[in-house]
Amino acid sequence: MALAPDRVIRGLLLDRDDTLVVDVPYNADPHLVVPVPGARRAVDRARAAGLQLGVVTNQSVIAKGMATREQVDATNARVDELVGPFDVWCVCPHDAGDDCACRKPRPGMVLDAAERLGIPPESIVVVGDIGADVQAARNAGAQGILVPTPRTRRQEIDEADTVAADLEEAVTLVLEHVGSVADRA
In the residue annotation, 29 being an active-site residue is answered as no
Cα angle 96, 98, 100; round to 5: 105
Are 72 and 64 a contacting pair, CB within 8 Å?
A: no
Are 45 and 87 a contacting pair, CB within 8 Å?
A: no
What is the per-residue burial (b if ≥16 Cβ within 10 Å, else e) of 63-95? beeebeeebbbbbbebbeebbbebbbbbbbbbb
Which of these is catalytic: 6, 17, 98, 183? 17
What's at 139, amino acid-wise?
A: N
Other residues' Cβ atoms within 10 Å of the Cβ of residue 41: 14
H or E element in which residue 112 lies: helix 108-117
Q: How would you classify residue 18: left for phi > 0, otherwise alpha for psi between -120 and 50, otherwise beta? A: left
Are 19 and 37 a contacting pair, CB within 8 Å?
A: no
Which of these is catalytic: 6, 15, 95, 161? 15
In the residue annotation, 17 being an active-site residue is answered as yes
Which active-site residues does the annotation give?
A: 15, 17
